[in-house]
Amino acid sequence: MKRKPKVYPINIVIYFIAFLVLRVFLWIYKIRKIMPRDVSELKPPYLVLGNHVGFWDPLLIGFFLPEKVRFVASDAVFRTPFLRFFLKGLGTIPKKKNIKDTKVIRDIITVIQQGDNVGIFPEAVRNWTGTSFPLDPSIVKLIRLLKVPVVVAKLKGMNLFNPRWSVKLRRTPVLVDYKLLFTNSQVLELREKEIFEGLSEALHNDEVDYQRQARAPIQSQVKAEHISHALYVCPECKSIDSFRCAGNDFHCENCNYDIHIDRYGFFERKSKGELYFDNIRDWYYWEEKYLSEMVVEMLETQSNELIFKDTASKVFSSSTDFALDYKGIADVSLFIDSILIKFYNLPEKILNFNDLQTINPQVREHLEIYYDGEAYRIMGGRPGVSALKWEVAMNALWKGLGQEIKLSPYINHKKY
């Protein structure tokens, strides 16, 4: 009988090339692992879960393991032709972002049933500051459904080495710490609450607290480059998306509030004045609260004023799974009832919130929108334009409009 072909097969040539590149990469950057024997001797299939910081996470976690792993990744990365070719060759399983996707669950089950390992990042998104987001509770049901051992891989120092918002790597120690968290029998015997609490504790990482103790030097002269992807509100004048970055420094174009990033990744003022935050984590959570409160107030007063606008943005769209078509240059504006895409050479397009399915930063932190079955990718008119502010603001609007099913699980949805 002819053997049934595997789903999400790994192309051995692409895998070998990736292996060689990673071997050199790890040697250059001296990335280390902690691999206990019960993990190194574990036979497939098993589930690999990790904290999520940057692009390299699945490659590093998968490289050190003795068996190949098919990782689940956002389908947004498949819309870039080179990445699509590369990821398909490594058996990557695509998943629609922030949308209930039953197909990916079926695909994961099939891969496990054919005897292969699956890798998932249960934060559901790369975090922005090295501090773990809350886990998606649905991961527990998946663990119980698969009935296989669970290995966790915690990346330590990864946000200092490869922060989500930066395109360049820095030389600083990185450790991949593996642990066999649950055996088959434990998966079956433990209560769901016990599994969730154990997994949350095992994967939690706070890079700010870690670095305050480790004081590991970060060898880079571009530590501030594109930090405006993550930091989009000035704490001095409250202007939005006003930061410009160069080298290890960034400043607000509106009020000239300036910051220097020291050799350990902490903030200090270049000139005299108040230092509101000495780290990215505290600044990130403050601005999320500030912008959410601002948007809620505008919604409650039914303000018709502009919330914010990205000018001269490149707009792409797609009605298929992956391919993107260039549409043109546009100013993209957010109001309390709609998004206005005002093209320079095409009729304007208005996106209402009922048909808006998801909105979040994706590949190279560009704005990714699912609207009425169509995907849009919007690239800011200059480097460092924050797409994160859109996700935060839209979550506040969706919550205020009663569309809570669309909320991102990693954004704080408490009533401020």
Domain ranges, ordered by start, for the chain: 12-212, 295-406
pLDDT for the residue numbered 1:
46
pLDDT for the residue numbered 321:
61
pLDDT for the residue numbered 323:
74
pLDDT for the residue numbered 409:
83
pLDDT for the residue numbered 40:
96
- Count the neighbouring beta carbons within 10 Å of the beta carbon of residue 370: 19
pLDDT for the residue numbered 324:
83
Options 3.40.1130.10, 3.40.1190.20, 3.40.50.1360, 1.10.287.1080; CATH of 12-212:
3.40.1130.10
pLDDT for the residue numbered 101:
72
Name the DSSP letter for residue 373. T
Q: Give every residue of the chain whose pLDDT is below 50, as ranges.
A: 1, 416
pLDDT for the residue numbered 74:
84
Residue pointed to by tokens 């769209």: 317
CATH no., domain 295-406: 2.30.29.30
The letter for the amino acid at 34 is: I
pLDDT for the residue numbered 266:
98
pLDDT in tens, 181-223: 999 999 999 999 999 999 999 999 999 999 999 999 999 999 9
pLDDT for the residue numbered 100:
67
207-214 and 280-300 helices cross at what angle (nearest 10)? 160
Q: pTM here?
A: 0.89
pLDDT in tens, 299-319: 999 999 999 999 999 999 987
Beta bridge mates, 315: 328, 378
Compute the distance between CA of residue 144 and CA of residue 133 in angstroms, rounded to an integer.
22
